Amino acid sequence: GEGCRPALGARRRRAFGLGGPSALELGTKEQYVCARCGNYCSGSVWHDVERRKDICLECEAPGLHALVEILAAPRVASSHALACRHLCDAVTTPGLAREALELGAADEVVQAMEAGLTDDVIQYMACQALRALCVGIADDADVALKLADSGAARMTLRAMREHPTSVNVQEGGCRALRQLALVDVNRREILQGAGIAAIRSALRDHETSPKVQEAALSALGNVVADGHARHSINSELIATVVRGMNRHAGVADVQSAGAIVLYNFVCTADCLEEVVAEGGLEAVRRAVAAHEKVAAMEEARSLLEGTRVR
């Protein structure tokens, strides 16, 4: 039809609906009306070749191969955001993450982020997709290497710096960093890319958001679990963590993430005195008293007892 580009690799699938099973071919259009939901759409489209109907990606979710093809197609913002969202839904196991990575999913997500750097929706969805691709990263060296080679950590930090005021991008970026930082190669890249400063900015600029605080503290806890982070841990960073814990004293997830960060600070930089001076130990004590989840944590108990988890 008019405005229709060639199908993406002539990808076809069988689908039910619109009166029975039919063949769907993946392509792109500048604008079309979905035969199922009736919405005006643009970008990637499933074309019912037997009934000459167009179906949007919202109504017919693509598989992994098709998702990677959509991400690799000429840069259409709406299609890439949808593809990233579907990737999050599709990648639910380490095996699926490995399959997606072998198809080049991480590389295509990163390239979509670079092409749509100023679009906060793409950046948020892409960060979510990168987080999903990290399933099993700690137990699979090939998965970790593919994510590192794609530049996922570097691009996540770039997205966070480009959209400092976006709660979604900051939260999504921190959640991606948390998973990426589970392995040494990505953790070192995050440290070299001033990742601690980016996470601290998220904590400082979004103090009122418990979701950003929890995501940022969780990311920070993994990033500083590395001797190379020693020189980045200082009183100012400790105070930022304690402020977040104090501000969201009623949120168990923020309290547990904060306790782990403070514990890792002490283990990495031997800075118990600084943590005490900034009120960190008192914050953990209050968290233990208020939340069973925190009280059950070895890290929190060890901080209060001045010992280390074995």
Residues 208, 161 share a domain: yes
Give the CATH number for residue 103.
1.25.10.10
Domain edge (last residue) among 198, 226, 254: 226
Rounded-to-integer distance, Cα 123 and Cα 114, Å: 9
Q: What is the pLDDT of residue 260?
A: 97
Instruction: Inform me whether the pLDDT recorded for 306 exceeds 90.
Output: no
Residues 247, 215 share a domain: no
Model confidence pLDDT, tens digit, residues 163-180: 999 999 999 999 999 999
Q: Average pLDDT, stretch 297-302?
A: 93
Residues 297, 163 share a domain: no
Residues 66, 156 share a domain: yes
Residues 208, 87 share a domain: yes
Domain edge (last residue) among 226, 252, 270: 226
The residue ranking higher by pLDDT, 67 or 10, is: 67
Q: Average pLDDT, stretch 13-42?
A: 72
CA atoms within 13 A on the CB side of 141: 0
pTM score, two decimals? 0.85
Residues 210, 136 share a domain: yes
CA angle 33, 39, 43 (to 5 degrees): 60
Q: What is the pLDDT of residue 22?
A: 52
Rounded-to-integer distance, Cα 3 and Cα 7, Å: 12
The band of 281, judged by pLDDT with boundaries at 50, 70 and 90, is: very high
Token readout for 179 is 């998973």
Question: What type of residue is 191?
Answer: L
The band of 94, judged by pLDDT with boundaries at 50, 70 and 90, is: very high
Structural domain of residue 91, as residue ranges?
62-226
Which residues share a beta bridge with 47?
25, 54
Residues 140, 260 share a domain: no
Residues 132, 165 share a domain: yes
The band of 191, judged by pLDDT with boundaries at 50, 70 and 90, is: very high
Calculate the dihedral angle through the C-alpha atoms of 180, 104, 26, 116, rounding to the nearest 10 degrees.
60
Residues 173, 237 share a domain: no
> Whose structure tokens read 């010992």?
307
List b or e across 158-191, with b for residues whose CB sees 16 or more CB atoms inside 10 angstroms. Answer: bbbebbeebbbbbbbbbbbbbbbbbbeebbbbbb
What is the number of domains present in the chain?
Answer: 3
Residues 200, 144 share a domain: yes
Domain edge (last residue) among 206, 226, 246: 226
Token readout for 55 is 């179906």
Instruction: Inform me whether the pLDDT recorded for 14 exceeds 60.
Output: no
Residues 32, 115 share a domain: no
Residues 128, 188 share a domain: yes
The band of 6, judged by pLDDT with boundaries at 50, 70 and 90, is: very low
